[in-house]
Copies of this chain bind each other. A is one copy, B any other.
């Protein structure tokens, strides 16, 4: 029995509708298992710019600090596209990560077998499924290094510094190895050690950390090769750990490979149990407010919250199982409407069925399955 304070940052576009579905699911899970969730809304992103002039108001950061975890929808949209750099809605994400010390980004890339045919890769490559966990460093590297402009003999010059300390690499490596212990016990560390000094330090520290995990197999892979291997044979991967910028690229590549962008959750973790949970999809302003979004990524993000921030493993599984059941029964949102369920009759005849529904209805259906 627990009582948990959740800061809810709905953000822009489809953010509000998918957050509502996720909160409904959390609420129901709480009822069943006897936990209480207190949801407090806060502004960030485009809506915060419109209402307060800042993409990440101090009040939001304060509320987050006073909470046990954050549920975030999505930020950004064409309305704010003309703003430059720092002023843009997405900067709120960088701010939250930095202010709250969310240094570990966990991005599962998995295929729900019911959605196998949404995967862009050929069947023989997918085989019986893909299940990768990308552990991306989130508060270091080129994102937060020194940057600027300088005059030079070739006109202006702009620079960004990628830099990693031993301590930064150590803590993210520990996260990766800890995760691997609960999985297939294989870690691939991705770097560019044939070119970058920071990668050489990365490789050395990850190797050192691996000595504390004798059961886990560690391999090193160059980032260009990793980008290829994800396509050639994604099943070779269990846990991948990498820097902020390489993780940005590879985790998005891996998500697309699953064909299920609308279903993938993520967790951004700091020291202790605190974490921010968000779908990996964007704010999809073109379909916002039309009740056609897919709430599953947000719902699965709330399951990650239960597991990682609150230690509620059974409750998390309950949500995940409800999602699987709903998908296996052929229910679909618009984004995955073509990934039909093929139903085999008793006589062996195959027919195709898919029941397409709105964001709200999908949310309620999953809630009821819990």
Contacts and interface: CB of A to CB of B under 8 A. Distances in A.
Interface of A: 84-85, 88, 90-91, 94, 120-122, 125, 142-143, 145, 147-149, 152, 154-168, 192-202, 223-225, 227-228, 230-232, 245-246, 248-253, 255-257, 261
Nearest to A89: B194
Nearest to A123: B122
A249 B227 contact: yes
A224 B248 contact: yes
A200 B158 contact: yes
Contacts of A142: 162, 195-196
Contacts of A156: 165-166, 201
A142 B337 CA distance: 43
Nearest to A227: B253
Contact of A228 (B85, B152, B225, B252): B252
A255 B160 CA distance: 28
A250 B224 CA distance: 8
Nearest to A171: B154
A200 B87 CA distance: 14
Given A121-B121, A157-B165, A161-B159, A224 B249 contact: yes
Contacts of A223: 248-249
Given A160-B161, A249-B249, A201 B166 contact: no
A148 to B, nearest CB: 6
Contacts of A91: 194
A255 B228 contact: yes
Contacts of A257: 231
Q: How many monomers of this chain does the complex have?
A: 2
Contacts of A199: 160
A167 B156 CA distance: 8
A250 B231 contact: no
B125 A154 contact: no
B147 A197 contact: yes
Contacts of A202: 158
A159 B154 contact: no
B232 A253 contact: no
Contacts of A255: 228
Contact of A196 (B160, B168, B224, B253): B160
The 8 A-B pairs of least Cβ separation, nearest first, read A155-B166, A154-B167, A159-B163, A158-B201, A154-B165, A228-B256, A227-B253, A224-B252
A301 to B, nearest CB: 19
A194 B90 contact: yes
Given A120-B232, A248-B224, A162 B165 contact: no
Contacts of A84: 200
Given A122-B122, A228-B253, A252-B224, A158 B164 contact: yes
A162 B163 contact: no
14 contacts: A120-B121, A149-B201, A152-B165, A154-B166, A155-B165, A157-B166, A157-B201, A158-B200, A159-B164, A160-B197, A224-B249, A224-B252, A227-B227, A231-B256
A101 B159 CA distance: 21
A33 to B, nearest CB: 36
